[in-house]
Amino acid sequence: MKLGRRDFIKLSCATVGALAVGSTAKAQLFPGGFPNPFRPPPGKWFEGDVTTSYSYCEMCFWKCGMKVSVEGGKVRKVDGYLENPKSRGMLCPRGQAAPATTYDPDRLKKPLIRVEGSERGAGQYREASWDEAFDYIAEKMFAIRDEHGTESVAFMGHGTGDEWFASYLPGAWGTPNAAKPSVSLCTAPRETASVYTFGRGIAGHEQIDWDETDYIVLIGHHIGEDTHNTQLQQFAQALTRGAKLVVVDPRFSVAAAKAKDWLPIKPATDTALLLAWINVLIEEEIYDAEYVEKYTLGFEQLAEHAAQYTPEWAEAITEIPADTIRRIAREMAAHAPRAVLPVGRHVVWYGHDDSHRMRALYFVNILLGNYGMPGGYYLCDAPIVDTFPAPELPLAPAAGGCGGGPVEVGDSPFRPSVDRGKFFGTATSVQEFIEPMITGEPYPVKGLFAYGVNIFHSIPMVERTKEALRHLDLYVAIDILPMEHVMWADVILPECTFLERHDDLNLVAHKTPFIQARFPAVEPMYDSKPAWWIARELGIKLGLGEYFPWENIEEYLDRRLSSIGSSLEAMAEQGTIVRRGRPYIADWERLNRNPFDTPSGQLEFYSERFAEAGLDPLPVFIDPMEGPSGYYRLLYGRSPVHTFARTHNNAVLMEMDSENSVWLNTREAERLGVSHREYVYLENQDGVVEGPVRANVTERIRQDCVYITHGYGHKAPLMKLANGRGASDTHLQTRYDLDPYSGGAGLRNNWVRIVPGAPDPQHKSIAQLVRERSQA
């Protein structure tokens, strides 16, 4: 070996800046060399020095309070804690798997800018500093503003950080085009129906008084597959306590497996069943007459209207025997007011029908006298914590919560949102932003921020969305994983996972309202940053610094907490502050207050406001859309271990449920010659094909529909575990029907046929993929 007599050559690029000689060299533990890293010392994390901190979960949006255990600089375990009213010491599978998302090697690592001249979707990127990325975004936003106005930048957000990206920053920038898929692709009909019936929205976690109820009727409500933690706990406890359960579902769901009665209803006819129950309760005079007399408006109109909806009429539509309809109605009445028909969460099913169905559902509950009564729906409001003092935003914060409050442009110089006028309600409809990107009508949308929203796995008509993205001048994606839609963006900003960050306080409307806080358990990995930081730094670049007058999140949170006599330090010690609620009407009457914020101050059966707008003042049944012959209605739902399309690269969860399958009734399978576990394709009414996907040949579903769990079928090569497994329901949703009341997009108006004989894709096991990924 020879290197002449030269001294050390110094190469400037070799100064990476990762490591440096410190001042505190310890005594040498490894004299003469390095320890052999191939045989790490044994030892269990729980035998080490374990520290814990408080957070609330972000694996779904139920947001359960959790305690995070860290050892050796790594998150090892998360748990619920008893003092938190949502987790109550327990977590669901997704929450338990949170560390596997933080340590997912496929995470986004650095800010990236799409290579100049490359196609959107081609996935060619260069690394950028945060500063450069913000400069790039700001320049494009200013150009859009100058040519089209601030309203031509749209924001979509989902997750705790969406407060910054779907509310605060759009409000500061000045665009009413800010929306969450959790509204118009999820809850919008139930919220509009609730506001126009009760004068109150439905709280984020569905305010059912499970602990007091004796009789439960679930309508397409997939508790157990939908593992919303507290709800599942209270549901299970109610059953253990002896509450009776009836499940209405075209599919023998997990909940149906726990029911005394399963009513396998014909899809899209639920409203007919509900109207028949209204009919029976009134005709047989078994409704709560005292409650109805005291608290409601328009009962006479309802009684007259419902007379036509006899159980025999409903039997012909729903395929549920009239006798069964009568029997269940009588049982409900016998248990009233401790009988309840809980409202579900994802209720955008059939579009035109959705708000009618939700109102009819509420009406049955009102007739049972359970709204604001023990064992029915309790009343709740979020605790109040002051905002950080800052100048008033040019536009009111935009997208709002699940209820989706409107952005009222009022006298401001801003144009109303692009979806205004398409429907009656006040939510902002995320799917209605897409068309204006292509057509420029009513005005162009040229910029888009997608924060935590998987726009290819939530918004129907995926090809249209891709077409719209091609028309944009700026598309920014903020996410933690390289989802397919993320790899279309001009600028990709990597967010850190919730275990690595602070977030804003979570103010929860609950039977006992509470405030919970999130603290980082570990430092962010890579060059990822929290949403609050990204929004603030970008805001400053956009000249909106005055709206972000805090230096950091600690100052922001401490100031907010001081308004309730607490502090960030105190919250670090307790995690949750629980308040007293006013769950029942009696709690309000004691204070001489009326909880029903309707114009009449009463629960409104008959809606003058709908009538004035030319809409039906009372719920009606509208014949469902029908599909082509030989096709099945495509129903979808949840895997208990997955959230939307977000968790399908989590190694632990994917191992539990690594691909979806299409549920097909045994007799239909025989007719088609499809065997159990065989791979098939799904082809929808517009020729879109998904799969290969396994057939789950089962007795657990009707013959006129098929079912898959949502969130699979990722087309994202960077997500090594998720990519190409199963079928995507969203990609098969090439049609939707707009609910004229709420702006919700009814997604269950798509039909598929089963194409047998798909090749076995020979999926590798998750364990094998995990091994290969680390040794690429």
Q: Pick from 57, 60, 108, 496: which binds other proteins (CB under 8 A)?
A: 108
Task: For 368-398, give the DSSP string.
Answer: TT-BTSTTSBPP--PPP-PPPP-PPPSS---
Tell me whether residue 117 or residue 759 sits nearer to other proteins (CB atom): 117
Nearest partner of 533 among 560, 503, 499, judged by Cα: 503
- Residue ranges in 417-456 that form contacts with other proteins under rule CB under 8 A: none
Say whether residue 655 binds other proteins (CB under 8 A).
yes
- Residue ranges in 462-491 that form contacts with other proteins under rule CB under 8 A: 482, 487
Distance between CA atoms of residues 450 and 772, nearest Å: 31
| Stretch of residues binding other proteins (CB under 8 A), selected from 202-210, 415-423, 601-609, 654-662 | 654-662
Tell me whether residue 525 or residue 564 sits nearer to other proteins (CB atom): 525
Task: For 469-500, give the DSSP string.
Answer: HHT-SEEEEEESS--TTGGG-SEEEEBPPGGG
Least spacing, CB of residue 527 vs other proteins, in Å: 4
**Tokens matching residue 55:** 């957070």
| Stretch of residues binding other proteins (CB under 8 A), selected from 288-296, 305-313, 430-438, 766-774 | 766-774
| Stretch of residues binding other proteins (CB under 8 A), selected from 337-345, 412-420, 446-454, 525-533 | 525-533
| Stretch of residues binding other proteins (CB under 8 A), selected from 88-96, 145-153, 181-189, 589-597 | 88-96
Distance between CA atoms of residues 12 and 53, nearest Å: 41
Say whether residue 92 binds other proteins (CB under 8 A).
yes
E-strand spans in 623-750? 632-637, 661-665, 679-684, 689-698, 705-709, 737-738, 745-746
Q: Pick from 70, 343, 453, 641: which binds other proteins (CB under 8 A)?
A: 641
**Tokens matching residue 717:** 């090569």
Q: Pick from 115, 334, 586, 613: which binds other proteins (CB under 8 A)?
A: 115
Q: Pick from 50, 74, 384, 593: which binds other proteins (CB under 8 A)?
A: 74
Least spacing, CB of residue 273 vs other proteins, in Å: 16
Tell me whether residue 471 or residue 715 sits nearer to other proteins (CB atom): 715
Q: Pick from 57, 68, 70, 90: which binds other proteins (CB under 8 A)?
A: 90
- Residue ranges in 685-714 that form contacts with other proteins under rule CB under 8 A: 698-700, 702
Say whether residue 135 binds other proteins (CB under 8 A).
no
Distance between CA atoms of residues 207 and 262, nearest Å: 24
Residues in contact with other proteins, total (CB under 8 A)?
A: 128
E-strand spans in 491-546? 491-494, 506-508, 514-516
Based on its alpha-carbon atoms, the radius of gyration of the chain, rounded to whole angstroms, reads: 27
Q: Pick from 289, 384, 611, 767: which binds other proteins (CB under 8 A)?
A: 767
Tell me whether residue 42 or residue 389 sits nearer to other proteins (CB atom): 42
Please name the helix (run of DSSP H) or strand (run of DSSP E) that holds residue 578, with its range, or none: strand 576-578
- Three-state secondary structure of 170-225: HHHHCCCCEECHHHHHHHHHHHHHHHHHHCCCCCCCCCECHHHCCEEEEECCCECC
Burial class (CB in 10 A: 0-12, 13-18, 19+), 283: middle
- Three-state secondary structure of 262-318: EECCCCCCHHHHHHHHHHHHHHCCCCCHHHHHHHEECHHHHHHHHCCCCHHHHHHHH
Q: Name the H helices within 336-461.
A: 354-367, 434-439
C-alpha distance across the termini of the chain, in Å: 33
Least spacing, CB of residue 105 vs other proteins, in Å: 6
Tell me whether residue 261 or residue 678 sits nearer to other proteins (CB atom): 261
Burial class (CB in 10 A: 0-12, 13-18, 19+), 29: exposed
Residue with tokens 């094909």: 689
Tell me whether residue 237 or residue 562 sits nearer to other proteins (CB atom): 237
Tell me whether residue 41 or residue 759 sits nearer to other proteins (CB atom): 41
The distance of Cα 454 from the centroid of its chain, to the nearest Å, equals 10
Q: Pick from 60, 112, 585, 727: which binds other proteins (CB under 8 A)?
A: 112
Q: Pick from 361, 368, 492, 521: which binds other proteins (CB under 8 A)?
A: 492
Distance between CA atoms of residues 467 and 444, nearest Å: 14
Tell me whether residue 22 or residue 759 sits nearer to other proteins (CB atom): 22
Q: Pick from 218, 459, 653, 727: which binds other proteins (CB under 8 A)?
A: 653
- Residue ranges in 316-335 that form contacts with other proteins under rule CB under 8 A: none
Tell me whether residue 77 or residue 327 sits nearer to other proteins (CB atom): 77
Distance between CA atoms of residues 682 and 232, nearest Å: 32
Tell me whether residue 379 or residue 721 sits nearer to other proteins (CB atom): 721
Q: Pick from 168, 262, 377, 556: which binds other proteins (CB under 8 A)?
A: 262
Tell me whether residue 93 or residue 444 sits nearer to other proteins (CB atom): 93
Q: Give yes or no for a contact between 231 and 210, defined as CB atoms under 8 angstroms apart.
A: yes
Least spacing, CB of residue 164 vs other proteins, in Å: 21
The distance of Cα 343 from the centroid of its chain, to the nearest Å, equals 16
Least spacing, CB of residue 108 vs other proteins, in Å: 6
Say whether residue 131 binds other proteins (CB under 8 A).
no
Please name the helix (run of DSSP H) or strand (run of DSSP E) that holds residue 155, with its range, or none: strand 153-157
Binding-residue pattern over the window 19 to 58 for other proteins, x denoting contact by CB under 8 A:
xxxxxxxxxxxx-xxxxxxx-xx--xxxx-----------
Binding-residue pattern over the window 222 to 241 for other proteins, x denoting contact by CB under 8 A:
-xxx-x-x--xx--xx-xx-
Say whether residue 591 binds other proteins (CB under 8 A).
no
- Residue ranges in 601-640 that form contacts with other proteins under rule CB under 8 A: 640
Tell me whether residue 591 or residue 776 sits nearer to other proteins (CB atom): 776
